[in-house]
Amino acid sequence: MVWNALPPDKWKPRLWSLFQFEPHEAQSSLLLSPARFRVASCGRRFGKSYAAASDAIVYALMGARVWVVAPTYDLTTPITNALMELILRLPSPYIRVAKRSPPQRYESVTGGVIETRTAENPDNLQGRALDLLLVDEAATISDPQIWKQYLRPMLIDRKGHAVFISTPKRMNWFYDMFMAGIEHNPYFASFRFPSYANPYLPPGEVESLKQDMSEDDIRQEIEAEFLPDGGTVFRSFHLNLRAKWQTEPIAGHQYVMGVDIAKYEDWTVISVLDTTTREVCFIERFQRINWEVQAERIVSVYRRFQPSRVAIDATGNDHMADTLTLRGLPVQRVVFTPLTKLTLVSTLAMALEYDDLLLPDLPELRYEFARFAYERTSTGRLRATAPEGVHDDIVMSIALAVNAALPYWLAPNARPFTVGERDIPNIQNMLPRTR
């Protein structure tokens, strides 16, 4: 199969010339990416429909089986309209319209097929082997199982590719797919294209449109930025991503460490906090190594920064805390319970909210902080947690470091920001009550 064996830049541009398609620079970066799964968060009028339609055509011309999937048939219209416009530019009869009514079907002279499908009825998304899957307005598909259970299996037989394009809608499964590319999953590549990445929009139109939009709407609809959900703990943490990375300690500065120990598939995370500047200045993250090597790496970071306290997760197992204590580290053991975890996380949230704490701008950190949320249990209690399948190790490591720093921050002239049990009802009011 050509699309699997050759880099896209070796064959796609030659086929684009057949229907006079000239992608702009941002579209080219998406279309010529060699990644098997491409995820694009796009602002309005970026040109995602024409980019997707051009991909469908070139794959079909190579004999591929292509599906265009959207939440509803109405939402397949932008791509099908673009398909028709581009198909009419082709030398006849390279691709013909075999069926106009939903589900539409287009057939190429090489045996390739393009079909439209809707995510409304998942049972109709089974039983076919695909070469290319195009998911339009992916963020509007509410059920993440559509991809995992129905669409992904159809790409196995033919080692098919997939493209996910959408304007973001808060932080749902589309955000998780986007972050897979940011976190260097070898199968994924992620792109963020604001509206003004389209050079063909009339000058001044985007700025004019922004005049009638709220700040959140501008960030989401124009900037293609993922916004936090309503129950998100760290609502404006992106404003705090200004910490300066330190590979060595600064003379005269005081440091503390927070260490969240890996359990099963989690990560061990070491966070170093400069209490003098209130910056998380160093993070080390690793997984799937034995306890002795983990201990050595923790000791190595300790020897470098010489923190005055090392707060460590001792939940369910004191072995690492005991080992580090015997090695001479000033260990502060913290056992996670629902209440202590809620208090730690809420204290961290308030440190960020009042600009007391700065964080390094790391993709993995952004992802964890964005997804961490307050939720109610079946008994009505409030808890702070990451969604299923999302790690929280960086969050908890930094929360432990903040807890270790509190005695140094609560000087006579310092403004305390700790959250106690008496403050929790105020946080609870942020969420709708269960019946």
pLDDT at res. 217? 80
In sequence order, which ranges of 197-277 are alpha helices (DSSP H)? 205-210, 215-217
- Does residue 422 surpass a pLDDT of 60? no
Mean pLDDT value of segment 268-292: 90
**Check whether domain 2-222 has CATH 3.40.50.300, yes or no:** yes
Residue where the block lists tokens 């190579």? 62
365: tokens are: 């950190």
- pLDDT (0 to 100) of residue 102: 82
Q: Give the pLDDT mean for 179-197.
A: 86
**Cα–Cα separations (whole angstroms), residue 187 to 5, 159, 176, 364:** 15, 11, 14, 17
Query: pLDDT tens digit string along 239-253?
Result: 889 999 999 999 999
Confidence at residue 417, expressed as pLDDT on a 0 to 100 scale: 40
pLDDT of residue 410: 59
| More confidently predicted of 114 and 226 | 114
DSSP 74: G
419 pLDDT tier (thresholds 50, 70, 90): very low
The predicted structure's pLDDT at residue 16: 94
Q: What is the largest CA-CA distance in the chain?
A: 81
Residue 309 banded pLDDT, cuts 50, 70, 90: very high
- pLDDT at residue 301, as a whole number: 94
pLDDT at 66: 94
| Tens digit of each residue's pLDDT (9 = 90 or more) over 5-44 | 688 999 999 999 999 999 999 999 999 999 999 999 999 8
What is the distance, to the nearest Å, from the Cα of residue 236 to the centroid of all Cα atoms in its chain?
16
User: One-letter amino acid identity for 150?
Assistant: Y
Report DSSP letters for 309-322, one per residue.
-EEEE-TT--HHHH
Provide φ and ψ at 226, rounded to 5°. Answer: -80, 125
> How many Cβ atoms are within 10 Å of 427's Cβ, its own excluded?
18
Range from 39-43, 91-95, 422-426 carrying the lowest mean pLDDT? 422-426
Per-residue confidence band for 55, with pLDDT thresholds at 50, 70 and 90: very high
Length reported for the chain: 435
Predicted confidence (pLDDT) at residue 259 exceeds the cutoff of 90: yes
pLDDT at 313: 86
Query: By the 8 A CB rule, do 350 and 397 touch?
Result: no
CA distance 247 to 272: 10
* Of 182-186, 218-222, 328-332, the least confident: 182-186
Query: Where in the chain are the domains?
Result: 2-222, 237-428
State the fold for domain 237-428: Nucleotidyltransferase; domain 5 (3.30.420)
Which pLDDT belongs to residue 428?
Answer: 41
Residue 404 CA to residue 280 CA, distance in Å, equals 13
